[in-house]
Amino acid sequence: MFFHKKLSHTITLHPSFLGPRMREFVTKRLYKDVEGTCTGRYGYIVAVVAILDIQTGKIIPGQGSAEFVVKYSAILFKPFKNEVIDAVVEAVNPMGFFADAGPLRIFVAMKMLPTDMKLHMDSNPPSLRSDDQKIEKSTQVRIKLVGTRVDATNIYGIGTIKEDYLGVIE
């Protein structure tokens, strides 16, 4: 799910930046620090929408650098267990298939597919087929997430299409 949320970030500027273009440096540093990052708590911070407030900078005693607390709003993307999401198939292999929903990679294992779905590795491209559906690279599928996993830089989803109204989107 995509969210629009207010967040806060602290930026430390070296004294050489404390001049007439200080605010510009603060905003540029915010974009660089925060956009494109991913955490378990907030999901992916896709883009900063607006800078809401830059508090007066505080000089760090003994260092000369200044600390700024910046309040901003951003577009966040965070997947949840039991959320239904549309995705694009990236690869089909004997374990199942991988699909991407924006920056999120989702894995759907063989046992999470309808029972009548069979793997065709020798077709070009490799595909999964049943009576009424064919899944191969670039197919659009509706997936229900059954779990998520977070590592240092990304979130991974685990999904199923074994329920009603899930699977290939016409």
Is 1 a binding residue for another protein by CB under 8 A? The answer is yes
CA nearest to 157, candidates 142, 143, 168, 140: 143
Is 170 a binding residue for another protein by CB under 8 A? The answer is no
Is 80 a binding residue for another protein by CB under 8 A? The answer is yes
144 phi and psi, to 5 degrees? -105, 125
Cβ atoms of 59 and 38 closer than 8 Å: no
Is 129 a binding residue for another protein by CB under 8 A? The answer is no
Which tokens go with 153?
Answer: 């830089």
DSSP state of 77: E
What are the beta bridge partners of residue 28? none
Which stretch, 16-24, 40-48, 57-65, 124-132, contacts another protein (CB under 8 A)? Answer: 40-48
Is 46 a binding residue for another protein by CB under 8 A? The answer is yes
In Å, what is the CA distance from 157 to each residue of 38, 101, 160?
Answer: 14, 10, 10
Candidates 15, 36, 64, 125: give the one binding another protein (CB under 8 A).
Answer: 36
Q: Which residues of this chain interact with another protein, rule CB under 8 A?
A: 1-5, 31, 35-38, 40-42, 44-47, 49, 75-78, 80-84, 86, 88, 100-103, 140, 142, 144-145, 148, 150, 163-165
